[in-house]
Amino acid sequence: MTSDSAETTGVQHAHIGTAPAGLIDHPRGAEPGKPGDRGAFSFETITRLPDSADGKGRGGARYGRTGILHTPHGDIRTPAFVPVATQGAMKAVLPETMREAGAQCLLSNAFHLYERPGEEVLNEAGGLAHFMNWDGPTFTDSGGFQVLSLGAGFKKTLAMDVSGMKSDDVIAEGKERMAFVDEDGVTFKSPLNGSLHRFSAEISMRIQHNIGADIMFAFDELTTLMNTRGYQEESVERTFRWAQRCVAEHKRLTEERIGKPYQALYGVVQGANYEDLRRHAAEQIASLDFDGVGIGGAMEKRIIGDICAWICDAMPESRPRHVLGIAAVDDIFACVENGGDTFDCVAPARCGRNGAIFTRDGRYNVKRAEFKHDFRPLEEGCECYTCKDYSRAYVDHLLRAREFNGFTLATIHNEHFFIKLLDDIRASIDGGYFDEFRDATLARFYANGSRG
Ligand SMILES: [Zn+2]
């Protein structure tokens, strides 16, 4: 393992420009003739937040912590932001540029890669990291979110006027329901070509093993806040049965896939906003032989920290915790404080392509008329690649002209903003000033009524 010394240095940006030779070809814990060594994946706690009178965990516990997530393709210093490379690519930004922006790991989408190019292509390529030339750890989500989003109640199919409705079958008028859940799995129509497909615990595990990310998620049923309490209860039990099947299939595939690095599997806790359901689901997931936990599902912003704490109450400290699809700066603080280690979010890239720029003083849209003649960087004092050399006026021009470089420059800045935010939070926990840092950062970010 020539890469070990480089990987375990305490220097955050040790990899920049000097990728350790052979890291991708020789991940840790992969030996010819043997199944992947589970010992190559582990979580090491560095600093725990002190408990406090208003701590949301049992006995005033605050589960926030810094640590190191060891994976076969390298270490992740946590808490960490995980940029989303949905289709095995950050839109408009090369992996080496993401590394330069400080990214430690990337998350791709199992469903999209299954649809195109097909998971067997990634297996042939030597796994996701190798396929996309990313020199570091990767995650895949289970595909459950995308598959179930095709059903009633999500995204574009969600009926906008749901006042007075409390139904398990909310669907917008004129929209076709494209996914159906049964005990065994989900049947859905491909959004690419309308063909009929099936996802189940076993199929999701097969797809994710072939894709070969370091961290995978169990196939779960995602509900919405619109579903009835009765349906949420059924769904939590079904997700538990699917979780058991995922663990069994994961073990079988791990034994079968000789010579490959170990892939860690996280169980996902659902239960919407209900404390008793969340606690129950967390105990169920904690009872299974998972490597980590995914905090997922529909939840209201106001209790996002509580939900993390309820789940951590039941979870062994040694299991890393990933919060799926986090949305905003204040949510990140709430989730870090209550135990989240890693966070993925598509917002920085998606917002950036629309001209929304994140700064320490809140979010603004660079396509507003006032920036046409503004030759300052996107954010003064920002050390990202974009802000070193490019102006607001230029990025505004590129985005208006729909030039690809506009997407690139805006995405680099926004991804760097979130990566740096998590780096700074990590430093504040290790340095013993998290509370002050949180209060000052949130006050400044939201001072102008900023969203995001
Ligand atoms: Zn910048």
Domain boundaries defined on the chain: 43-141+199-345, 351-446
387 appears as a binding residue in the annotation: yes
**pLDDT at residue number 94:** 98
C-alpha Rg value of the chain to the nearest Å? 21
Rounded distance from Cα 195 to ligand 1 centre (Å): 43
Rounded distance from Cα 381 to ligand 1 centre (Å): 8
> What number of CA atoms fall less than 13 Å from residue 393's CA on the CB side?
5
Rounded distance from Cα 328 to ligand 1 centre (Å): 18
Of 356, 338, 374, 370, nearest to 413 (Cα)? 356
Rounded distance from Cα 380 to ligand 1 centre (Å): 8
How far apart (Å, rounded) are the C-alpha atoms in residues 264 and 71? 8
For the chain, give the number of residues: 452
Q: Which strand (E) or helix (H) includes residue 97?
A: helix 95-100
pLDDT digits (tens, 9 = 90+) for 146-170: 777 776 434 333 344 444 444 455 4
End-to-end Cα separation, the chain, in angstroms: 42
**pLDDT at residue number 176:** 63
Residue type, 439: D
Of 56, 106, 55, 46, nearest to 79 (Cα)? 46
In the chain, which stretches have pLDDT less than 70? 1-26, 151-177
307 forms bridges with which residues in the sheet?
Answer: none
Residues 98, 133: contact at Cβ < 8 Å?
no
How far apart (Å, rounded) are the C-alpha atoms in residues 61 and 300? 22
Rounded distance from Cα 383 to ligand 1 centre (Å): 6
Provide the annotated active-site residues.
141, 344
**pLDDT at residue number 187:** 87
141 appears as a binding residue in the annotation: yes
Return the DSSP state at 436.
Answer: H
284 appears as a binding residue in the annotation: no
Assessment of whether the complete model's pTM goes beyond 0.75: yes
Rounded distance from Cα 358 to ligand 1 centre (Å): 9
Among 3.40.50.300, 3.90.105.10, 3.20.20.105, 3.30.360.10, what is the CATH number of 43-141+199-345?
Answer: 3.20.20.105
Handedness of CA 23, 29, 31, 36 (dihedral sign): negative
> What number of CA atoms fall less than 13 Å from residue 188's CA on the CB side?
22
**pLDDT at residue number 147:** 77
230 appears as a binding residue in the annotation: no
Rounded distance from Cα 78 to ligand 1 centre (Å): 22
413 appears as a binding residue in the annotation: yes
- What is the bridge-based pairing of β-strands 356-359 and 362-365? antiparallel
* pLDDT over 90 percentage in the chain: 77
Residues within 5 Å of ion ligand 1, judged at the Cβ atom: 382, 384, 386-387, 413
How far apart (Å, rounded) are the C-alpha atoms in residues 172 and 162? 9
145 appears as a binding residue in the annotation: yes
Residues 125, 158: contact at Cβ < 8 Å?
no
Which tokens is 353 given?
């392509």
142 appears as a binding residue in the annotation: yes
Residue type, 433: Y
